[in-house]
């Protein structure tokens, strides 16, 4: 059976029928509380940003080895924003090419980045704690250090410190209780790279673009405060338990449109981080640390991502190719200045030939169908990757692949792969985005059909975006890869950042960009969560109900 069958077929819930209702619809018996919505006060003059994406739940006692499921910190990415509702900008699709005011840009800089918020489960349900000492906002103005080979290099204009973070899509948690936050569509704000004339380029070519490229997000209307494009497209690490800590962008993880960062430990204690580049025909990477994780050795663990090596996946041979400037002459021969330059332009480095002497050589990294989230299976160590779609290849529904590292060692140089589940009308989901494993090894998948294509044409039968559960173990008559729809998103929204408490009894979800298709504030296409007469607001919810024990 599949999503939409309506039978009671899941191990603990009845699968939903797809729906286009303007509501967060959950499987029977489950209910949600809205914890925080776009613009809510966090106390101390801070407010919650817009377009919440990746979520991580950190038990408040985690640094002492605890696992509280009723008191913790939520990390929330704020990926981008709706200029119509968040900054009173009346040209949401860039049609009239209206410039933004400095005031609008400053508000938008405060809408992105991420947040730490204290959350508690009381008798009456989940609440967030306004004014809690851990509450923190990181936005497009927060100073951050740059680590690794790009630090101070010419590729980043000599910068050792950069200004803020933006386009924070997915992320990851480290075994030492820090959060990784990934800058994805950074090119929309200050550009993709600095052109030869010193001006930013919004695409990947030297051609200057028209104003209307990325017109809804670009911040160059405030030229005095414009930042170099090379300072974005990184992954930053932050310690949510130390509100005064300075976030660090780790250049060893490369500069690209990072969807996420999935962290795992090798048998020898080295740290491996998988990250996908969410752009048509771009690659999957992994970082392997030089140092080893040692439980309790907090100071040295905090430096594990500052030294190691970055690899790119060649699916034609099942090889992880090192992007090592010293070891491989192809980078110097193609105009890269040093390791920092390779990491700053890593998508160009990955496109170089694996064998420069062979005209027909494969590139170092295989172009993929838009890699979204990656998660490591908690028991098997297999690496699950959501490839959301690639219209250029006629791949409209996407698929989830799983990679198996040689000897199940994440530091391996070789891997195999297979398709785990394919999107489409038969399976009931399309455009997989974020992934999460629960304690029963079920894979949770949320979908991101773009709001402009949803409920139309080949996407009609899927209705709104949703959250789905796919068992990975054969158990109780349920086959691996079967698909059960658990939740359906409000109009034009996607569901992002699924995160469970350690006891498995609460599922946090971020409802991102409801009503994104609205062309005016008077006629929003969604009024979730406030209901008729209100503006749509991205919100984080806590879902409770008959979840199985972890
Ligand atoms: Fe921001 Fe690739 O999703
Ligand atoms: Ca995503
Ligand atoms: Ca995930
Ligand atoms: Ca998305």
What is the structure's pLDDT at 3?
A: 41
335-347 pLDDT, tens digit each: 999 999 999 999 9
* Model pTM score: 0.96
Check if 169 has its Cβ closer than 6 Å to any atom of ligand 1: yes
Q: How far away, in angstroms, is 261 Cα from ligand 3 center?
A: 8
What is the predicted pLDDT for the residue at 210?
A: 61
b/e 308-320 (16+ beta carbons within 10 angstroms → b): bbbbbbbbeebbb
pLDDT of residue 99: 85
Residues with CB under 5 A from ligand 3 (ion): 373, 434-435
Q: Mean pLDDT of successive 10-residue segments in the chain (550 residues)?
A: 40 93 98 98 97 98 97 98 92 80 95 98 96 98 98 98 98 98 96 93 81 68 94 98 98 98 98 98 98 95 98 98 98 98 98 93 97 96 96 93 97 96 94 96 95 93 97 62 92 98 98 96 97 97 96
Q: Whose CA is nearest to atom 1 of ligand 1?
A: 169
pLDDT value of residue 480: 63
Atom of ligand 1 nearest to the CA of 257: 2
Q: Which atom of ligand 1 is nearest to the CA of 169?
A: 1
3-class secondary-structure state, position 118: strand
Q: Does ligand 1 have an atom closer than 6 angstroms to the CB of 259?
A: yes
Distance from Cα 532 to the centre of ligand 2, integer Å:
28
Question: How confident is the model at residue 393, as a pLDDT?
Answer: 87
Secondary structure class of 186 (helix, strand, coil): helix
372 C-beta closer than 6 A to ligand 1: yes
Q: What is the pLDDT of residue 211?
A: 53
Q: Which of 323, 340, 384, 279 is nearest to 155 (CA)?
A: 340
Q: Is there a contact between 486 and 27 (Cβ–Cβ < 8 Å)?
A: yes
Assess whether the C-beta atom of 184 lies below 6 angstroms from ligand 1: yes
Query: Is 469:495 a contact under the CB 8 Å cutoff?
Result: no
- Side-chain-facing half-sphere of 396: CA atoms under 13 Å: 11
């Amino acid at each position: 059976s599949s999503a939409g069958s309506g039978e009671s077929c899941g191990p603990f819930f009845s699968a939903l029928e797809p729906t286009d209702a303007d509501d967060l619809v959950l499987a029977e018996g489950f209910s949600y509380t809205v914890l925080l919505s776009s613009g809510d006060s966090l106390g101390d003059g801070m407010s919650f940003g817009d377009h919440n994406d990746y979520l991580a739940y950190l038990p408040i006692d985690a640094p002492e080895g605890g696992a509280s499921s009723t008191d913790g910190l939520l990390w929330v990415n704020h990926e981008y924003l709706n200029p119509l509702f968040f900054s009173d900008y009346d040209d949401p699709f860039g049609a009239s090419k209206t410039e933004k005011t400095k005031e609008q840009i400053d508000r938008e800089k405060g809408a992105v980045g991420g947040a730490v918020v204290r959350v508690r489960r009381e008798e009456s349900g989940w609440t967030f704690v306004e004014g809690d000492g851990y509450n923190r906002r990181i936005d497009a103005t927060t100073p951050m250090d740059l680590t690794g080979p790009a630090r101070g290099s010419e590729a980043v204009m000599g910068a050792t410190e950069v200004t803020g973070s933006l386009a924070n899509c997915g992320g990851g948690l480290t075994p030492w209780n820090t959060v990784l936050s990934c800058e994805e569509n950074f090119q929309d704000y200050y550009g993709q790279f600095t052109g030869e004339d010193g001006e930013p380029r919004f695409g990947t070519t030297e051609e200057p673009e028209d104003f209307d490229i990325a017109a809804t997000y670009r911040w160059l209307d405030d030229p005095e405060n414009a930042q170099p494009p090379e300072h974005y497209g990184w992954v930053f690490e932050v310690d949510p338990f130390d509100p005064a800590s300075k976030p660090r962008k780790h250049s060893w993880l490369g500069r690209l449109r990072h969807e996420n960062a999935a962290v795992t430990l090798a048998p020898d204690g080295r740290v491996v981080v998988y990250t996908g580049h969410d752009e048509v025909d771009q690659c999957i990477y992994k970082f392997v640390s030089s140092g080893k994780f040692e439980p309790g050795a907090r100071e040295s663990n905090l430096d594990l991502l500052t030294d190691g090596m970055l690899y790119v996946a060649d699916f034609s041979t099942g090889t992880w190719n090192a992007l090592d400037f010293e070891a491989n002459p192809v980078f110097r021969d193609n105009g890269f200045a040093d390791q920092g330059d390779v990491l700053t332009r890593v998508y160009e480095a990955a496109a170089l030939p694996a064998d420069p002497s062979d005209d027909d050589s494969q590139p170092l990294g295989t172009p993929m169908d838009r890699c979204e989230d990656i998660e490591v299976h908690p028991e098997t160590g297999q690496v699950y990757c959501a490839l959301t779609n690639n219209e250029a290849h006629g791949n409209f529904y996407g698929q989830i692949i799983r990679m198996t590292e040689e000897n199940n060692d994440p530091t391996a140089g070789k891997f195999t792969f297979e398709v785990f589940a394919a999107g489409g009308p038969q399976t009931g989901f399309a455009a997989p985005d974020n992934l999460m494993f629960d304690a029963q090894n079920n894979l949770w998948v949320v979908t991101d059909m773009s709001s402009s294509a949803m409920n139309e044409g080949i996407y009609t039968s899927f209705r709104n975006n949703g959250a789905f559960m796919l068992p990975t173990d054969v158990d109780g008559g349920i086959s691996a890869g079967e698909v059960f729809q658990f939740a359906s998103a409000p109009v034009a929204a996607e569901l992002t950042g699924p995160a469970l408490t350690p006891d498995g009894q609460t599922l946090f979800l971020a409802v991102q960009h409801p009503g994104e298709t609205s062309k005016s504030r008077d006629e929003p296409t969604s009024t979730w969560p406030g209901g008729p007469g209100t503006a749509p607001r991205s919100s984080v919810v806590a879902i409770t109900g008959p979840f199985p024990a972890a």
